[in-house]
Structure 1
Amino acid sequence: MREYLKFYIGGRWVDPAQSATMNVVNPATEEVAGRVSVGSAADVDRAVAAAREAFPAWSVSSVADRVDLLGSISEVYTKRRDDLAAALTEEMGAPSALANGFQLDLGAGHLGTVIESLRDFSFEQELGQSLIVREPIGVCALITPWNWPLNQIAVKVFPALATGCTMVLKPSERSPFSGQIFAEILDEAGVPAGVFNVVQGDGPSVGVPLSGHRDVDMVSFTGSTRAGVEIAKNAAPGVKRVTQELGGKGPNILLDDASLADNVGKGVVTMMLNSGQTCSAPSRMLVPSARMEEVIDVARTAAAAVTVGDPQGDSTIGPVVAESQFVKIQNLIQQGIDEGATLVAGGPGRPDGLAKGFYVKPTVFADVKNDMTIAREEIFGPVLTIIGYDSVDHAVEIANDTEYGLAAFVAGDDLDLARSIARRIRSGSVAINDGFDFCAPFGGYKKSGNGREWGAFGFDDYLETKGILGYTPASS
């Protein structure tokens, strides 16, 4: 059983201010996999003080030094891949293939992109008679979720390091193992003392004092919209910058063409990835109403091929992260049935043969109306809703009829049509035919948040812009 009872503060592993701990439950077995210490406001004070002390030196470090440090982190990250993957499987139920694959590859991909972006990034620009300088904002509070732990840590920690900020990371209490190993990686890579700090704990014990701390200059949060609103309120008295990547209800518009069946199958598989626990998942599949029966047949077959089981084996998906998540998903599945959606695959209850573990059947609903609860709320489980549209304009109208705007998708043979649709969707990103790019910005419109992560775009929120007027005197 894992025990992580120290915090990483000021370049050292230190005992917490109080001896409180919490158990971490393996969602596949419902048994305790380990325990971690629970931080307090006193631990937050120590970590923020360490970050504040380290800021003057790190903020003026050279780009070359930062690139070298990030390169060292990459080497140690690669060395610890197996340890990280095992932790992900234990703490949040990621199947081994996913943990060893995309979960880890996302972190590595973001790190490599940050290194390349930093080499070419311009922190100064002469404009007229002025020098425009982009400077690190200061001490950053980084609060990350449990569903893609390394991805979300990577898109916050690496840009903060690259721009000369110092930071305090609070990993999710549901996935603390990978966060602790990540701290070990940065320690071994030689991050200067105080530049990077970690305090484990839950929202009330650590998240609240961290986001509201008087010596924190910026808060970056990824999680639910509800929690994001509370963090913004907590940070408001300090007038600190708050960036948020929150919930989503991604539309996936499938065009009426010869590729429809293939795109339906792909859409089902993509939705089920990570047990549907992805804020950018294509959870609302929009298809031509006239071809709904064809779509249903394809979706049923695709869902049946998604195997559920022990994440240590070869199943497609494992459990969802916790009992509370399981109960929420079950309630929403039942609500979909009660509101009249057609149940195509899956449904309430655990899959056959899985009496223990927080496993959910890969579930597909068709004939969904966009005002149904399952089309409005973020389910965050392996549940797909299929909605019919009558025209391209109707599809775009449905796609935009949501309080979210994080990610959207368009698939079809007519690239010009797909491009025109993508321009009309109110979303922070739109992927055409499964497009993916580490350099593209990621973030939300509306209640999906503000600010952008990924690539050089992820630097902006960690920088202040200063204008030095008269830097270049006017010619006489």
Structure 2
Amino acid sequence: MPPTYPEILKVRYSSDDASLQFPVHNPATGEVITNLQAGTPVEVDAAVQAAQKAYDNDWRWRSPAERSALLFRCADALEPHKDELAELLCLENGKPKQDALSFDINFLVNIFRFFAGICDKLPGEFYQRGSVNATVIYEPFGVCAGILPFNWPPIHFGGKTAPALAAGNVMIIKPGEQAPLTVLRMCEIISQVLPPDVVQVVPGLGPEVPAALIKHDLVKMVSFTGSTVAGAKVAETAARTVTPVVLELGGKNAFVVFDDVEGLDRAVGDALEGAFFNKGEACTASSRILVQKGVYNQFCDKLAAGVKKLRSGNGLNPTTHLGPQVSKAQQQRVLGYLHKAKDLEKEGKVKIAAQGQLPEDPACKNGFFVPPTLITDVTRDMVIAQEEMFGVLVTVTPFETEDEAVDIVNESRYGLTSIIFSCNSERCWRFSKKVDVGLVYVNNYFRNILGVPFGGAKETGYGREHSIGTLREWCRAKVINQPSGFGEVPRWRVVKELYGA
């Protein structure tokens, strides 16, 4: 069972100001789990000062082997709490507990083990340059900030904290205000293993805490996951102090099915997963499906049959397929797009081909649910085909040629993932090379994001997470030049003239 919380939860770096309380809801019921005290710039400064002390006096001097051992211990500490964390995540985020456990929480434990295993694998470099040798070493930044969204708290917490610590940094996390409790609990668990103040959490409401972190002169690197609008503000703020940032932002990912697909059922099943897994609250969600006209009607019929069977409900119920949207605001946002689709249907421009089942449980009557919805005959220029809806809505657009499909994929301002289903291997390779995205899935939608670079192009952001190359994102290069003892070190001619050889 997850821990129970007092009516008002106050953690170490939160304000005593009662006006800064904000509720954490159970989105399946609309009920308040607890009211959490937000932090302010005062608490941010206290956390940063403590983190800097932990970095200067301890963590930066730990060897890679010592950091590795402690990261393995973090994974071991999290392991017995997996069920508890999955249930807590279900309660505050709404996703089914089974999915939270199998995907989010397993990833959390595995990514700590992954970076524990490679934190001593970041090689330095040595260059023989005649009379001077150059050694390149990779050093940590120091105090880093991780700003998280609400949709995958364990994945984003682990995906930022584990590599940051592996590289020798210390970390301050600002969790998404809709789902902060799992982050607080994860930090509490690993803090029993780590030295004091190496990892801290400062909860907050709105932009105040993130802005204070980014502007702080002791924060040397920022990693942000969230919307493109918020990410642009993060980058703008960080640019004023020339603080490096990694941004993982929005997506409007295209799932492309050609009429030479072998086994349409696999494509249909993966399309349903891509659209509705995690109730569509995923930057990787394939919320627009492009289908070649030769199989368009057959594909839409098969997908509609599946969508009609989707069951929304409380994530603690093992028969639930989809949970609610994470908040009332997110529910209203998604419903706004659904209303646009209904207006277009009235005009004869699209068809709402199928909707799934809303919960029958009376306890869910005030939950933040939206019926999972399939919208067909959508044209590429419609708002619902262009904007990231971040919910349980998916559009289907017909196309005729390969070039047309590539053009539709690339006209999006986002560039995270694209999926292609075709039995023509040359087409799959051409398509993969032509689409302007960070990840391409060929004849599958297997979201194995650990161990390979995760990130996108265009307004999806920059930087890569979850791979050995991520360690470089959390380090800066330093070059050390030393005389080699072979030959004279070159000097400016004026120095030679004034002082001799």
Q: TM-score, normalised by structure 1?
A: 0.94
Q: Partners in 2 of 1:268 and 1:121 — Cα distance? A: 39
Decide whether the 8 Å contact of 1:18 with 1:40 is kept in 2.
Answer: no
**2:465 is the counterpart of 1:453:** yes
1:215 equivalent among 213, 218, 241 = 218
**2:207 is the counterpart of 1:204:** yes
**2:423 is the counterpart of 1:422:** no
**2:328 is the counterpart of 1:317:** no
Q: Partners in 2 of 1:301 and 1:416 — Cα distance? A: 32
**2:11 is the counterpart of 1:2:** no
Residue 426 of structure 1, CA deviation? 0.7
Q: Partners in 2 of 1:323 and 1:334 — Cα distance? A: 16
Q: Partners in 1 of 2:119 and 2:424 — Cα distance? A: 36
Cα 1:14/1:234, change in 2 over 3 Å: closer
Q: Partners in 2 of 1:389 and 1:473 — Cα distance? A: 68
Partner of 2:441: 431
Residue 245 of structure 1, CA deviation? 0.5
1:225 equivalent among 211, 228, 232 = 228
Partner of 2:497: none
Q: Partners in 1 of 2:407 and 2:96 — Cα distance? A: 37
* 3-state SS of 1:430 partner: strand
1:193 equivalent among 175, 189, 196 = 196
Partner of 1:50: 50
Q: Partners in 2 of 1:206 and 1:17 — Cα distance? A: 15
Unaligned 5+ runs, structure 2: 489-501
Decide whether the 8 Å contact of 1:38 with 1:205 is kept in 2.
Answer: no
Partner of 2:352: 343
Unaligned 5+ runs, structure 1: 8-12
Partner of 2:246: 243
1:375-423 Cα offsets, whole Å, 9 max, x none, are 1110000111111121222111111110001122222333443233112
Decide whether the 8 Å contact of 1:143 with 1:171 is kept in 2.
Answer: yes
Q: How does 1:260-409 map to 2 (within 5 A)?
A: 260-313=264-317, 314-339=319-344, 340-346=349-355, 355-409=365-419
Partner of 1:104: 105
* 3-state SS of 2:388 partner: coil
Cα 1:411/1:116, change in 2 over 3 Å: farther
The amino acid that maps onto 1:92 is N
Partner of 1:443: 455
Residue 265 of structure 1, CA deviation? 2.5
Q: Partners in 2 of 1:427 and 1:472 — Cα distance? A: 45
- Sequence identity percentage: 31
The amino acid that maps onto 1:197 is Q
1:194-251 Cα offsets, whole Å, 9 max, x none, are 2211111123331121122121111111011111111122222211011110100011
Task: Decide which structure has the larger Cα Rg and report it.
Answer: 2
* 3-state SS of 1:72 partner: helix
Cα 1:334/1:351, change in 2 over 3 Å: farther
The amino acid that maps onto 1:218 is M
Residue 351 of structure 1, CA deviation? 5.9
1:23-65 Cα offsets, whole Å, 9 max, x none, are 1111011111112211011000000111111222312310100
Residue 473 of structure 1, CA deviation? 5.0
Q: Partners in 2 of 1:182 and 1:60 — Cα distance? A: 25
Residue 337 of structure 1, CA deviation? 3.0
**2:83 is the counterpart of 1:82:** yes
Q: Partners in 1 of 2:114 and 2:380 — Cα distance? A: 37
Decide whether the 8 Å contact of 1:289 with 1:388 is kept in 2.
Answer: yes
Cα 1:391/1:261, change in 2 over 3 Å: farther
Cα 1:15/1:211, change in 2 over 3 Å: closer
* 3-state SS of 1:280 partner: coil
Partner of 2:22: 22
Decide whether the 8 Å contact of 2:14 with 2:39 is kept in 1.
Answer: no
Cα 1:15/1:172, change in 2 over 3 Å: closer
1:418-438 Cα offsets, whole Å, 9 max, x none, are 233112111111122224351
Q: Partners in 2 of 1:471 and 1:206 — Cα distance? A: 47
Q: Partners in 1 of 2:387 and 2:25 — Cα distance? A: 26
Q: Partners in 2 of 1:107 and 1:94 — Cα distance? A: 16
Q: Partners in 2 of 1:15 and 1:444 — Cα distance? A: 34
Decide whether the 8 Å contact of 1:292 with 1:388 is kept in 2.
Answer: yes
Q: Partners in 2 of 1:216 and 1:467 — Cα distance? A: 23
1:243-292 Cα offsets, whole Å, 9 max, x none, are 11010001112232232332022211331111110011111111112321
1:295-315 Cα offsets, whole Å, 9 max, x none, are 110110111232111211121
Q: Partners in 2 of 1:370 and 1:223 — Cα distance? A: 25
The amino acid that maps onto 2:302 is V
Residue 17 of structure 1, CA deviation? 5.2
Moved more, 268-277 or 432-441: 432-441
Q: Partners in 1 of 2:10 and 2:140 — Cα distance? A: 29
The aligned length equals 468
**What CA RMSD, in Å, does the superposition of the two structures yield over aligned residues?**
1.9
Partner of 1:10: none
Q: TM-score, normalised by structure 2?
A: 0.89
Q: Partners in 2 of 1:287 and 1:377 — Cα distance? A: 19
* 3-state SS of 1:217 partner: strand
Q: Partners in 1 of 2:425 and 2:82 — Cα distance? A: 38
1:140-179 Cα offsets, whole Å, 9 max, x none, are 1111011011001111000000000112111111111101
Decide whether the 8 Å contact of 2:311 with 2:359 is kept in 1.
Answer: no
